[in-house]
Amino acid sequence: MVNLSGPKPHQLVPEHSDRIGSNSVPIHLKNQWIEEGFVCIPSVASRSEIEDHNKIVTDFRRLLDDCLDPYGFGDRIGQLHQVCPDLMNISAKSEIVAFLSWAFGEDPVLFGSLQFEKGTEQSPHIDAIFFWPEPAYAMAGVWVALEDVDPEAGPLFYIPGSHKWPFFHSDDVVDRRPDLKERWSSSANIDEVGDLVSAVGNAWTEDFIAMERERGGQRITPKIRAGDVVIWHSLLAHGGATRINPTLSRRSVVYHYFGKTAKLYTFSQFMLTARDDIKNLQPTVMPRGSYNGLEFMQFPQFATYSDGIERVRLVEDFTGKV
């Protein structure tokens, strides 16, 4: 049984962030961010921007030899904007950048993207454990509908207010498992690190699911139309609902951003390090470029998936082919 009072939650917004509405970020969005951890900004991308985006992804998928599922859909593609920079067009829209600048207390930097052709059916999770930000509020997921989302196509769901729940770090998780704590505390040799990261990761998820059950978290599936943008807090639980009708597509893109001076850590660093020690580690540092005024982290690779198996590919092998 998880103690409902649990380990302490993180601060949700920067210290002096106001709740006063401005022309660029309305007050109802600021309040919803703090209360629910999730906002929807309607009609951010135009029909023609969506068409352009979908065409780039569709054309690129033709170059790939990845298998399609029985309904003709490809799996997710990660970081495709590194190969096709025009896929950052929507990510640089002023409504998104203005909101994130308020939420982070500084300019946002794009560090990741995922292109989806169908629902992900991902169980509830919190993105921050995969890309741990310091400070904890300085990261967010921005999900753009590239078509109207049918309720049977595996829509996005979120658990309102879960960003305020007690938040487990790896030290909290191993504290309740003496054997795991023993392995976690002694510096594991390099061959064992992968296993240890998975074991702590599984234990983290186990505790999180127990907490969700105990708190009776409610899954909300908002109605989202083509061009709408939803933004979730780094600490908010969300996922993809069941694809009731697997013949339906659910084209969307997720962009992940962090704050310009925030530090970003990996899943392994999060799972191997105690809450108060993470900020002393070496964060992920990559060269940065700029697209339509938006800063982005440059990576030399992108990833395709086939039946959920990741295949890492070099950007340079594909530049000029698209």
Ligand X SMILES: O=C(O)CCC(=O)C(=O)O
Residues 250 to 269 in contact with ligand X, rule: CB under 6 A: 252, 254
With CB cut-offs between 5 and 8 Å by kind, which of ligand X, Fe ion, none does residue 156 bind? ligand X
Question: How far out from the chain centre does Cα 41 lie?
Answer: 17
Which residue from 305, 300, 296 is spatially nearest to 315, judged by alpha carbons?
A: 300
Question: Please, what is the minimum distance in Å from the beta carbon of residue 240 to ligand X?
Answer: 3
| Distance, CA of 241 to CA of 121 (rounded, Å) | 5
Q: How many residues bind to ligand X according to rule CB under 6 A?
A: 13
| CA distance linking residue 93 with residue 98, whole number of Å | 9
To the nearest whole angstrom, how small is the minimum distance from the Cβ of residue 154 to ligand X?
7
81 or 238: whose CB is closer to ligand X? Answer: 238
The smaller minimum CB distance to ligand X, of residues 114 and 196, is found at: 114
Residue 202 interaction partner, one of Fe ion, ligand X, none, beta carbon < 5-8 Å per kind: none
Instruction: Give the binding range for ligand X (CB under 6 A) out of 26-34, 102-110, 116-124, 212-220.
Output: 116-124
- Residue 127 in the binding site for ligand X (CB under 6 A): yes
Rg for the chain, CA atoms, rounded = 20
**Residue 122 is a binding residue for ligand X (CB under 6 A):** yes
- 37 forms part of the interface with Fe ion (CB under 5 A): no
Residue 125 vs 183, nearer CB to Fe ion: 125
Q: Using CB under 5 A, pick the residue from 36, 75, 117, 127 that binds Fe ion.
A: 127
Q: How is the beta sheet containing 156-158 ordered, strand by strand? A: 125-126, 237-240, 156-158
> CB neighbours (10 Å) of residue 116?
23
Question: Rule CB under 6 A: is residue 153 a binding residue for ligand X?
Answer: no
Q: Closest CB to ligand X belongs to which residue?
A: 240
* Choice from 240, 251, 259, 271 touching ligand X (CB under 6 A): 240
CB of 192 to ligand X, least distance (A): 29
Question: Considering beta carbons, is residue 92 or 230 the nearer one to Fe ion?
Answer: 230
> Bridge-partner residues for 108, per DSSP?
259
| Helix 27-35 and helix 94-104, axial crossing angle in degrees, nearest 10 | 50
Amino acid at 22: S
Q: Kindly provide the residue ranges of all beta strands, DSSP E only, lying in the chain, ordered along the sequence.
A: 38-41, 77-78, 108-116, 125-126, 131-134, 139-145, 156-158, 229-233, 237-240, 252-259, 263-266, 288-291, 294-297, 301-306, 309-314
Question: Residue numbers of the site for Fe ion (CB under 5 A)?
Answer: 127
Question: Residue numbers of the site for ligand X (CB under 6 A)?
Answer: 114, 116, 119-120, 122, 127, 141, 156, 238-240, 252, 254
